[in-house]
Each structure stands twice: as C-alpha cells, then as structure tokens.
Amino acid sequence: MCLTPQNLSFTLLYIVTTSRHIRAHHKPAPLLQLTEIFFHGVRLMAALTASCIDLNIQGNGAYSVLKQLATMALQNGFITDSHQFLQTLLLREKMHSTGFGSGVAVPHGKSACVKQPFVLFARKAQAIDWKASDGEDVNCWICLGVPQSGEEDQVKIIGTLCRKIIHQDFIHQLQQGDADQVLALLNQTLSS
C-alpha cells in the first residue's frame, strides 16, 4: 500500500485520537506534532488542537462572539492582529449572515493578518440570533481564516465543511460532543 500525504495524515490522526483508549506505557506524543490537514495531497493547514475549541464561549451577540473568536485566533498564533481579523469577520457578516442553519454559523474571512489557514470551533448553551438562513438561533460556530492570497484554500475548506453540515448527525455531534469528540470530528472532516 502506497501512503499518500492524505492517507498518512488520516492514519496519524486516527492513531492520535484513539491512543487515549489504548492502555500503553508510552503515548505517541510526537505524532501530535506531525498531524496536518491535507487536501488532495497538499498540506492545507495544521490540525486543530484543544486550544482551537471553546465549548463555553461567552457573549450574547455577534460582535462579542466574533471578538472572542478573533482573540482565540491570535492566542493560537494564526493571526497577527485580532482587531483587523475581527473587522474582516464583521464585514463578512454585514454582507450576508454566515448562519448556515440548524444552529450552526461559519464565520470566515480572508485577511493580510492571517499567517496560515485555520479553523476554530466554539459553542455555547444559549443560542443567539445570527440572522441565519433558516431563521434559527445559532449556538455553534466554525470560524475559518485564510491569508489574503488564500481564496482557493477558503473555497476548499468551506466546501468540505458544507458537505458535512447538511447532515443532522454531524450537527448533533457538534452540538452535543465533548471537546475530544468535536476535535476528532473536525480533524477527520477537514482531512477527508
């Protein structure tokens, strides 16, 4: 069997996410550093880590949630300026709501302050109005950022996410899963 970068990425991700269920003397920690997201054999972005997920995001409106997502992107080293990225997200929301439906929004932006493509996930117990296409309030956010020259990357990542978001079982896992489950789900989705 020939291992392509995509197969290798999926294999490493599988090993890492299932290693906590295996009783072994040595956990394969170096594999965590090697895991990347590939799209048709091309490295697209680093895999999500626990710091890319907030299951209790605060805020009661779009501005406060987007501000916290921008701060999370800065803390993870994905962007150089949280205010600039926040403005990018707000401008995109002003053009048209990123509320996808079924309680999920996909705020995204392309900006010069983005150092590398990234995805963040946030959730809160109390849904808020996001002017979603189906009129439902939103309690899950999948935030995407790409560099200014990353139009193709943005289209690939959004396309991959949208093919999954239409499935209720995927949405249910986002809304009900714990941090490890959501992390594994998003990494698997983005690497397939």
79: which DSSP letter? B
Buried b / exposed e across 1-15, counting CB within 10 Å, b at 16+? eeeeebeebbebbee
pLDDT at res. 154: 63
Contact 70, 89 (CB under 8 A): yes
Contact 143, 122 (CB under 8 A): yes
Q: What is the mean pLDDT of the chain?
A: 79
**pTM for the full model?**
0.75
Residues contacting residue 22 through CB under 8 Å, at least 6 positions apart: none
Q: Which residue has the tokens 């053009």?
A: 95
Q: Which residues are catalytic?
A: 108
Residues 100-138 pLDDT 10s: 899 999 999 999 999 999 999 999 999 999 999 999 999
> Can you list the domains of the chain with their CATH numbers?
5-46 (no CATH), 50-191 (3.40.930.10)
Residues 18-46 pLDDT 10s: 332 333 333 333 333 333 444 443 445 67
